[in-house]
Amino acid sequence: MIKTEKLVMIPGPTPVVRSIQDQMGRPTVAFGDAGFVADFKQLVLDLNEMWGAEQSFVIAGSGTLGMDMALSNTTKAGDNILVCTNGAFGDRFKKMCLRKGLNLDILAADHWGTSVTAEMVEKKLAEKKYAAVTVTHVETSTGVVAPIAEIGKVLAKHPETIYIVDAVAAAAGVRSNLAEMNIDVLLTCSQKAFGVAPGLTILFASKAAFERRKALGELIPEAYADFEEWIPIMKDPSKYWGTPAVNMIWALKESVRIIKEEGLEERYDRHIRIAKLFDDALEAIGFKVAAEKGFRAPTLSVYLYPESEHVDDAKFRSLVGAEGAQVAGCLGAYAGIGFRMGHMGNIDKHVMIGAVAAVERACIKLGMTVQPGAALAVMQAGLAKED
Ligand SMILES: *Cc1c(COP(=O)(O)O)cnc(C)c1O
């Protein structure tokens, strides 16, 4: 057989469609080029509107820069901060907060596979005043989605507290809106549900976030991450602060065009439907979805190996890769006992079938008791109902 092309089915990067690749392959122009400036400006306006934000930022960087920016612009050393965590990515905020000299309280999900709830946040906020609260929308280590809208209702009763949402593995795949959900800073990046290659930090901020930034004084310790430096550029991209990632910005603009063509709401609904299809297909061949019912993310899943099969994790994932789909290993409590699969962004029926087929073939090659086509049958039945 000739070598099978590998689909990128990890929780980011996600498959990049041809029209987005084409934007990355365009001849690069000067960042002051009139056509580019107009494209950048329109992209920022579209993002503001689509996410109900006072201002969006598109900056060269990864999701981690967004986390840093969120904290840097809304808190100062000595402030109280509440970090809500449902797993390894929620935990990433901890060390960042300690670096910045924040007084850190942790609110953790009862156990991996579930989420911190709005009631839990409400109780914490009644006990103590916090400068900011962080929530991870989709926890990439567990495949759990947090109730960000319900938590937003609690935060609405605490206007002194800035509400930060890490929506890296969610935005453009799971519903989020700053104005509707009382969110002050929502951060993401290009390589997850936007379906663009890695390289861009995308951050949305509210008026209250800007007021907080102003209250921190003229100079915060960070330069590249400072809202105040970037706001004039995002309003008028002909100005200069740091060179914009010209081709990546075009790529993101194409991604936003695709999202608008599909419709944001339809895109969110589609992610819910396809997550259910992946989960049902994998369950049909003995895998267990790690996230509990009611907490399952539309963008990625953790699939635990059938206990009776004693699967060699590294061998399994390498076989799935060889069969045509790159999947990711698990972290923390799930390390070694399952794998992570992204199912977000611009994935079509070919990709979905190809990914499930690769998992099935790997199972068969490993000698697991899997009926050829059992998972595919479930996926096919579901996809046949889709237009
Ligand atoms: C991927 C991810 C990040 C980190 O993003 P990078 O682009 O790798 O810096 C942060 N938070 C969540 C929830 C993620 O899934």
The DSSP annotation for 13-31 comes to S----HHHHHHHTSPP--T
Atom of ligand 1 lying closest to residue 67 CA:
10
Identify which of 166, 185, 202, 299 to mutate to test ligand 1's pocket (most ligand atoms within 8 A of the CB): 166
Q: Please list every protein residue whose CB sits less than 6 Å from any atom of ligand 1.
A: 11-12, 62-64, 89, 136, 140, 166, 168-169, 189
Q: What integer pLDDT is reported at residue 303 of this predicted model?
A: 98
Atom of ligand 1 lying closest to residue 137 CA:
13
Pairing state between β 162-166 and 185-189: parallel
Q: pTM above the 0.85 mark?
A: yes
Q: What integer pLDDT is reported at residue 140 of this predicted model?
A: 98
Q: What integer pLDDT is reported at residue 206 of this predicted model?
A: 98
Buried b (16+ CB within 10 A) or exposed e, 14-40: bbbbeebeebbeeeeeebeeeebbebb
Q: Ligand 1 centre from 166 Cα, in Å?
A: 8
Q: What integer pLDDT is reported at residue 15 of this predicted model?
A: 97
Identify which of 89, 201, 203, 341 to mutate to test ligand 1's pocket (most ligand atoms within 8 A of the CB): 89
Q: Ligand 1 centre from 168 Cα, in Å?
A: 5
**What span, in angstroms and rounded, lies between the C-alpha atoms of 124 and 110?**
15
Q: Ligand 1 centre from 3 Cα, in Å?
A: 30
User: Which residue has a Cα nearest atom 2 of ligand 1?
Assistant: 168
From 261, 195, 203, 232, select the one nearest 74 (Cα to Cα). Answer: 203
Q: 3-state DSSP call for residue 165?
A: strand
Identify which of 69, 141, 189, 299 to mutate to test ligand 1's pocket (most ligand atoms within 8 A of the CB): 189
Q: 264: buried, middle or exposed (CB in 10 Å: 19+, 13-18, 0-12)? A: middle
From 204, 194, 200, 201, select the one nearest 254 (Cα to Cα). Answer: 194
Contact status, residue 375 vs residue 362, Cβ threshold 8 Å: no
Mean pLDDT, the chain cut into blocks of 10 residues (387 residues total): 94 98 98 98 98 98 98 98 97 97 98 97 98 98 98 98 98 98 98 98 98 97 97 98 97 98 98 98 98 98 95 98 98 97 98 98 97 98 97
**What span, in angstroms and rounded, lies between the C-alpha atoms of 214 and 115?**
33
- The strand pairing partners of 81, in sequence order, are 104, 132
